[in-house]
Amino acid sequence: MDWNLLFLSFSAVFISELGDKSQLAAIALGGQSKVPQAVFLGTAAALILTSLLGVLLGEGTAQLLPERLVKGIAAVGFALLAIKLLWPAGD
Amino acid sequence: MSSSESPPEVATPVAEAVTAASFWRVFISTFATIFLAELGDKTQVTTLLISAQAESPWVVFVGAAAALVATSLIGVWLGQWLARRVSPQTLNTMAGTLLLAITLWLLWDIAHL
């Protein structure tokens, strides 16, 4: 077990993720949710799966998926979550 | 109009079913949005791995995964810590504005792809 490699990758990713979209989303969603565990597990699972895909597909991920479309859908997703919070339809 | 608080009903099985359903609804919506938002972004983990390709990529992955769990946990803790300090309305407005900011951030990414 190569500990300094483990520590290197932990700190590199930790620092790069601090204040990233996913963490801001975790703060926003985690704060207002009645089931914060679901927010934590959802966020962590999504991040680990995306980095696993990044690992397995390597450089391929960039060419493979239409990034504009994927990020566009994500933007719509976040907008819906925001609207639900800012203008609750009394649900 | 001030409606008197209804007596706190005991956690009936129905309530448990509701929390289980809302757990999955929140889990899936969080997972889906963050998965899509982060899908293109995992370049730095990939580059990290390419540099470590010869030795042990899985050690790098475990370190990265642990870091991602840590940042998510800190994020949710911070959110919960805030939730105890501000009124629900303010929290919702803050959370909504933060999510709108993320939306704009994503649109900025798209514009610069």
Sorted by where each begins, the domain ranges of chain B are 41-111
Task: Please give the distance of CA B54 from its chain centroid, rounded to a whole number.
Answer: 33
Asked if B18 has any chain A CB less than 8 Å from its own CB, the reply is no
pLDDT of chain B along its 113 residues, tens only? 444 455 555 556 777 777 888 899 999 999 999 999 988 676 566 666 666 665 777 888 888 899 999 999 999 999 999 999 999 999 999 999 999 999 999 999 899 87
Contact B76 A36 (CB under 8 A): yes
pLDDT of residue B58: 81
pLDDT at residue A61 greater than cutoff 90: no
Contact B77 A30 (CB under 8 A): yes
Cβ partners under 8 Å of residue A40, min gap 6: A26, A30, B72, B73, B76
B63 contacts A13 by C-beta, under 8 angstroms? yes
Question: CA B66 to CA A8: how far, in whole Å?
Answer: 12
Half-sphere exposure of A66 (CA within 13 A, CB side): 4
Q: At what angle do helices A36-57 and A21-32 cross, to 10 degrees?
A: 160
> Residue type for A10, please?
F
Q: Which residues of B touch A54 (CB under 8 A)?
A: 42-43, 45-46, 49
Asked if A64 has any chain B CB less than 8 Å from its own CB, the reply is no
pLDDT of residue B18: 72
pLDDT of residue B1: 40
pLDDT of residue A66: 82
Question: CA A33 to CA A20: how far, in whole Å?
Answer: 20
Q: Which residue of B has its CA nearest to A66?
A: B40
pLDDT at residue A42 greater than cutoff 90: yes
pLDDT of residue B102: 95
pLDDT of residue A1: 72
Distance from CA of B10 to the nearest CA of A (A): 17
Q: Which residue of A has its CA nearest to B76?
A: A30
Distance from CA of B14 to the nearest CA of A (A): 16
Look at phi and psi of residue A88 and say left if phi exceeds 0, alpha if psi is from -120 to 50, else beta: beta
Contact A42 B26 (CB under 8 A): yes
Q: Which two tokens stand for residue A2?
A: 């190569």
Residue among A82, A79, A75 at smallest CA distance from B36: A75
Q: What is the ipTM for the molecules in this complex?
A: 0.86
Contact B40 A71 (CB under 8 A): yes
- More confident call, B60 vs A18: A18
